[in-house]
Structure 1
């Protein structure tokens, strides 16, 4: 059962099994909130789960997103306060993947390992950038979020929650966050990965575009203990597309520190 915590920084946090083993910080994508990680966290009974709503999302909607660096710094404070021994494994998807990499680059001392997928570290350009920015004006439409739920294959029993979360996203935060993420993480920030002694695994769905695959090099060229893999047959939100594959891959990483043999070379 999750236990809500009101962190002084203003980020809402849900915790599972605070008396269990090593901590795992779950960072959600840009169309959801922490609730999207509930089942994956529950499937790790031996781990202490930290599940925040990122600034501007979910129960943190009133705590605005300012910039990526500030978000990473706030999460580092949260880890030092709540994680066992002040260190955590990081699991991030999409926006959460970008935030997870930024956290590891800025605060390598709080990291046990990093598992990120679909992190667009080089940003988005061309038509994809234009389309993504244009969609912000639709965030107030329930129909838009129901269309997105179908596109992401959101399970029927969580569609209403997905729509409610989308409608509740702080629009001003999104207007700051999306252009920043689409511009890519600056090289000077990513260079912090050179100080990371913990292992990091960067994954892209096999069916994702070249934009995502190209970003893998931003990790593997910097972090001393980095690996890159493809999730076979998967698209962007593959924790929903194939939750069993995602869980087995994540569990293998947490227990061995090595990429699952179910993944493909990148």
Structure 2
């Protein structure tokens, strides 16, 4: 089983969080703190954090394992999914394969497919895999992910990542293709991104919306791929808005309410 942590009001709806590659559920600490009215379920994905001894097999396998963890921990409560980067690809597979598990899902930093230069990206993944958990590289990543306030905490969490899991998970993201997925799930979907993310992700918001009628999308202006770390309060505001069914199109609209 994947390692999990559950905290918050006993009878509240559950928000399950899935983290980015090369880090652990530690990355959600500030976002979780901004959501005191919910029961927070933190999940470490295979090869990461305290699930580091669980082998990474595939996005689909990780999705099934995450679904099993949610079923065990949520105990029939209403569940909402929140994910970023690698976690969004796992979360996407999860709501497709387990369509009644989550009432809603907010997926940030996910591209719809057709990533260019796949061979080069996989070569870079192979080079980066043994370096990513090391302190000098983790410090760089921490700043890219907006974790300036606790770089040492990020470095400690990143050090638990298995290089093989980093490489395999990154390759699975490179190969991801929306066109290979089944029809619309029962989960209410939101696809979000920082406005400074790669154009493949930002432009992909319209692709996801077209593929899933009824889904919504939004951008966090001026923020990047790791915007949950750059502005955790704003990210939490997006989460609450989506759970309540009124996610705005931009961060500015949310702040102006």
TM-score (norm 1): 0.85
Q: Does residue 222 of structure 1 match 2:214?
A: no
Question: Contact (CA 8 Å) 1:88, 1:112: kept in 2 or not?
Answer: yes
Q: How many residues align?
A: 251
Aligned twin of 1:179: 171
Counterpart in 1 of 2:113?
122
2:139 to 146, 153, 169: 146
Structure 1 portions without partners, runs of 5+: 1-9
Q: 1:56 to 1:218 in 2, by over 3 A?
A: farther
The CA distance in 2 between the partners of 1:53 and 1:89, in whole Å, is: 17
Change (3 A) 1:202 1:232: same
What does residue range 1-266 of structure 1 map to in structure 2 within 5 Å?
10-17=1-8, 19-85=10-76, 87-122=78-113, 124-126=115-117, 130-156=123-149, 158-185=150-177, 187-188=179-180, 190-192=181-183, 194=184, 196-254=185-243, 256-260=244-248, 262-263=250-251
- State the Cα distance separating 1:68 from its structure 2 match: 0.7
What is the Cα deviation at residue 264 of structure 1? Answer: 7.3
In structure 2, relative to structure 1, the CA distance for the partners of 1:86 and 1:224 (3 Å cut) is farther
> Runs in 1 of length 4+ with deviation above 6 angstroms?
none
Q: Distance in 1 between matches of 2:110 and 2:227?
A: 13
Q: Distance in 2 between matches of 1:107 and 1:179?
A: 23
Instruction: Tell me, yes or no, if the aligned pair for 1:23 and 1:89 is still in contact at 8 Å.
Output: yes
Higher RCO, Cα 8 Å, sep 6+: 2
Pairwise CA RMSD: 2.2
SS of equivalent to 1:174: helix
Structure 2 unaligned regions, length at least 5: none
- Change beyond 3 A, Cα 1:261–1:124: closer
